[in-house]
A = this chain, B = another copy of it.
Amino acid sequence: MPETFDTLTTRLAEIQDLRKTGAILFWDQQTKMPGAGAAGRAEQLATLHRMAHELFVSEETGRLLEGLRSYEDSLDPASDEASLIRVTRQDYEKAARVPAELESELTRAASHGVQDWVTARETSDFARFLPALERNVELKLRYVECFEPQGERYDVLLDDYERGMTAAEVRTIFDRLKEELVPLIAEIAERDDPSLEEVTRGTFPVERQRELCHDVIRRFGMRPDSWRLDPTEHPFASGAGVDDIRLTTHYHDDTLEALFATMHEYGHGLYEHGVDPALDRTPLGSGVSLGLHESQSRMWENLVGRSRPFWRYLYPTLRETFPEQLGSVELERFLRAINRVHPSLIRIHADEVTYNMHVILRFELEQEIVNGRVELKDLPAEWNRRMHEYLGIEVPDDAHGVLQDVHWAGGGIGYFPTYSLGNVISVQIWERVREDLPGLEEGFERGEFAPLREWLGEHLHRYGRKFSPKETIIKVAGGPIDPEPYLRYLRAKHGADGSL
């Protein structure tokens, strides 16, 4: 092994230390930090981000990578070493194209954008947010121009979250989803099942929810010496490495959403925890793309966490936990309630069917924005028009419409589609797991989650970022991304003759 390789891995390990430190600082900010610490924390995060970025894009990294070409050629491309050089080179070639000044303007605009968005959403005042959005979009277009034109502008942005995927590929998948889902949603809407809140009585005390959420992820296989679960405003999963996984959730005493959010974040956490420890402290040491990541969170939240076998197992415990609230609710009624499909205004509260329409709407608007086909001031009207067209509902104000998500405020254009790509991929993987493990769902009825966990570790998690997202999907799902299994699943579960 050439000395250059050691020098590179040492450098990358330090960069990774800075990035993981940033992750812990962000986690701390969202879960523990006293409020007045915000200004100082913003500076600390900016410094860590800038230092990691500067170290990574420095000419020294480029020289090291260049010096390793012949070593790389001598290796099995599937080896850790070849993958590290290959993926790092891809990362480097992207990052080095962005001038330092633009990089720091993007960071600053994102930070200001989030601040303005908070105020704008509180007062449902889109005009208050418009200048920050304009600035973010202007900078994102400058970012796009840093790259050789190859396909659509949007491809460059999408590539940051789902490397190698194009807007055209997403459109093909989403058009197919839309074609099936709009009529499916209309069909289900006529059933008008009651919601969980309508079938239960009283509130769900937060402390009991908290214990339940910890209990459920322990049953899933969470080891307390490597994981935490804490309350926060907007749930996320993060961590400092394979052995330090931080899940968060938000407890509302009028719903059980925290439990589903916890199972969702468990899926993210399990992916990070399952990466081969040999890849820790390298740029390969995390999930390969947001789409693949979301496939894991959606799997534990929906394919496990809203399934009949799982609730056959857990429902007695849930009823014991909340005897007043659920004592008179039979399992079947509970299952229907937690799987209710019902058009609604807010993406993060949406059910597993209509959720995709929220995403498709955003993906379509993002393309219009990036291609200059919509004036930003007209976004609220465009948003509301599509909400009516896709979900048949009226948006009462922008706080419940175009202002509901933080993503655009923070410069995250091209991020949304990965949510529905995750849904699609989750069922492709699920079909493979069920082929390999015929007794999988019967096992859930007995609380056996290790087979699923281990299958995912073996076929997906351990790879980290060694292979491209597309290669990884083929490895784990046996073929390229394909919406048909997901559509079959939704129809079979939620359609007219749906079995739940």
Contacts and interface: CB of A to CB of B under 8 A. Distances in A.
Contacts of A25: 21, 24
Contacts of A223: 36
A348 interface: no
Interface string A24-37: 11001000111111
Contacts of A123: none
Interface string A203-247: 000000000000000000001111110000000000011011100
Contacts of A40: 20, 240-241, 243-244, 280-281
Interface in A276-296: 280-281
Nearest to A227: B34
Given A14-B47, A14-B51, A21-B25, A34 B281 contact: no
Interface in A332-358: none
Nearest to A244: B37
A451 to B, nearest CB: 23
Given A37-B241, A240-B37, A243-B39, A44 B32 contact: no
Contact of A48 (B17, B32, B35, B36): B17
How many monomers of this chain does the complex have?
2
B44 A240 contact: yes
A360 interface: no
Nearest to A15: B47
Contacts of A21: 21, 25, 44, 47-48
Contacts of A39: 243
Given A34-B244, A35-B225, A37-B226, A44 B28 contact: no
Contacts of A144: none
A45 to B, nearest CB: 9
Interface of A: 13-14, 17-18, 20-21, 24-25, 28, 32-37, 39-41, 43-44, 47-48, 51, 223-228, 240-241, 243-245, 280-281
5 contacts: A18-B51, A33-B244, A36-B223, A40-B243, A40-B281
Closest 8 CB pairs of A and B: A37-B244, A17-B47, A40-B241, A36-B243, A36-B226, A35-B225, A17-B44, A36-B225
Given A13-B43, A17-B48, A34-B227, 5 more contacts: A14-B51, A17-B43, A21-B47, A32-B228, A40-B280
